[in-house]
Chains A and B, each alone.
Chain A
Amino acid sequence: MRWSARTVLYVLLAVVACAWATPFLWMVSTSLTPDVPVANSASDGAGSADLSRGVEFLPDLGADGPLDYAARLADQARTNYGAVLASDSADFPRYYRNSLVVAFLSAGLMTLSSAVVAYGFARVTWRGRDAAFAVVLGTMMVPFTVLMAPQYLLFERLGLIGGLLPLWLPSAFGGAFSIFLLRQFFLGLPRALDEAALVDGCGHLGIFARVILPNSVPALAAVFLLQFVAAWNDFVGPLVFLNHQEDYTLALGLQMYQSQNSGTQWNLLMAAVILTILPVLLVFALFQRAFTESVTTRGVKG
């Protein structure tokens, strides 16, 4: 490639990197900023108060020397993040736990049930299968607005309102996206594997458990991760199904924390945002490979 073309590409890459990294950095930076001092311009006549802020990624902490700065930064972090965690209007530690419970149960159940169902669509041949699968895909089109109230009332009838259960129970019955993804994967596994198992006297259950599952670990992991993230991030479900603050998940708790403050303290709000997104980003860093694989597998072959 010509030298100038490469330069252009590198510049583009740098621009993209900046565009995506800057918002994160700005949020982190804001979350480490001290409260603006109470004394302000209220009484100085002309109202010329310049409230606009410059672009400063390193909060001004009035430190001398880098070591002192680091110490003050750590101090500020303790103050701001501590204030959020101990907040009276939002119980963040509790929300962490709820998010963990919901995400794990939801992802685990979703993976298991979707695998069974996907097997039925991929490796069992039956009349009407394609039409049935079209129904599965069709459920993706139903807007949540149609479902939210009746589902809520259904859970009420079943006496299941008042806890986290409505958030993960539906996952136990598979989801269109996961079934679709796993079906694609199962279709791609060589039929010869089944034949061998059949010869050994295995039924469908045996094939599923002994042949398909062990050969599908990457796809299962992908479904698990995607559902984990989806459940962790779900906003509408908790908004509709959770009545009590103690049951909130992080995604919803953050919103409650935000709307509590009419005069927004942006530094604390950003600390809350960072606390909300950090766990998922850490999981991402840990499983980056599996994540990227999972999304690339999803739905390419339509």
Chain B
Amino acid sequence: MRRDGARVGLLFTAPFWIGFALFTAVPVGLSLYYGTTDYDLVEAPLPIGLANFGEMAGDAVFWTALRNTLVFAACSVALNTVVALALALLLEQRLRGREFVRALVFAPTLVPISAVAVGWLWLFHRDEGLINAGLRIVGVQGPDWLGDARWALWSLVGMSAWVVGAQVLVYTAALRDVPRSLVEAAAIDGANARQRLLRVVLPQISPAVAFNVLVSIIWALQVFALPLIMTRGGPQNTTLVYSMYVWQNAFQYGRMGYASALAWVQFAVTCALTAAAVALARKRVYARGATAR
């Protein structure tokens, strides 16, 4: 194969590098610098060393926010993956109307998350919401989904499953790539439907699953708009997620320095979890990529 100089490669990729320097590298560096200062956006930053990072260790709200975010990420990613896989499998069956349902499932991923949040605020309403109105028909008095500290975070996790459309489509594509011959061979060997699913289909699509889980984890660790609009972090800080705590410090408490330090920890946590997920995937994922390339 012909080799081009690195010059040509860099020339073509130059737009990215310029953007990377301007909008990622410099901000990331600046953010680290702000993390070592006391800063409120208006006055000049005042260097205070590592005090912000030290403060975190003793900041109960920081730990609460971190825990909430990890719980939300773990639960919503797990739930969404299961729901998306189940939907993808269902919609791959030859059923009339499945194209319509597929479009329906995909639709929520297209609309602004702020609109989804406001819509669900109404569905979750204690007295007038659809969910509790429906529950009343079957004689159950539903809880105050977003106002009750025991339910609020789980309500957010639950509604995140309504926005899995994109993942469903990715799994659909992966399912279509599973060679029919493999599935048929397994059937001839006497495997029943459940065994075929667990032993043949799932291993075949595991790269797609791994990729999706990875992207979902990164997304879930940054979750912000949903709790901001729906619960403002309440009740009792049970839905105070990490990004929101950063945002509060930055824009409401005038503590941009502390917010930057917090954000950097978020960055580190994201990197660590991503690395762990990649390592796990390397071990477990059925290596089809090797043959496909």
- List A residues at the B interface (Cβ < 8 Å): 6, 9-10, 12-13, 16-17, 19-24, 26-27, 30, 51-55, 113, 116-117, 119-121, 124-129, 132, 135-136, 139-151, 153-154, 170, 172-174, 179, 204, 208, 229, 232-233, 235-236, 250-252, 254-255, 258, 266, 269-270, 272-273, 276-277, 280-281, 283-284, 288, 291-292, 295-302
Contacts and interface: CB of A to CB of B under 8 A. Distances in A.
Contacts of B256: 149
Contact of B15 (A113, A281, A299): A113
Interface of B: 1-6, 8-13, 15-16, 18-20, 22-24, 26-28, 30-31, 34, 41, 87, 90-91, 93, 95, 97-98, 100-108, 110-115, 118-120, 122-123, 125, 127-128, 130, 132-134, 136-137, 162, 166, 169-170, 172-174, 177, 207-208, 210-212, 215, 218, 221-222, 224-225, 229, 242-243, 246-247, 250, 256, 259-260, 262-264, 266-267, 270-271, 274, 289, 292
Contact of A51 (B123, B128, B246): B128
A229 B108 CA distance: 12
A296 B172 CA distance: 7
Nearest to B125: A266
Contacts, number: 282
Contact of A251 (B16, B19, B112, B137): B112
A146 B16 contact: no
B259 A270 contact: no
B122 A270 contact: yes
A118 B27 CA distance: 24
Contact of A300 (B28, B130, B177): B177
Contacts of B224: 144, 235-236
* A-B CB proximity, top 7 nearest: A173-B19, A120-B12, A126-B9, A150-B27, A296-B173, A251-B112, A277-B111
Nearest to A54: B133
Contact of A269 (B18, B104, B122, B132): B122
Nearest to B4: A124
Query: Chain A: interface secondary structure?
Result: helix
A116 B267 contact: no
Given A121-B9, A127-B3, A173-B16, 20 more contacts: A17-B100, A20-B107, A20-B162, A22-B130, A23-B162, A30-B122, A125-B1, A125-B2, A142-B28, A148-B250, A150-B34, A173-B18, A174-B16, A232-B112, A254-B114, A266-B128, A277-B111, A281-B107, A281-B111, A284-B103
A153 B170 contact: no
A284 B106 CA distance: 10
Given A16-B87, A16-B90, A174-B19, A143 B30 contact: no
Contacts of A236: 224-225
Contacts of A276: 111-112, 114-115
B8 to A, nearest CB: 5
For A151, A273, A291, the residue with the greatest tally of chain B CB atoms inside 10 Å of its CB is A273
A269 B118 contact: yes
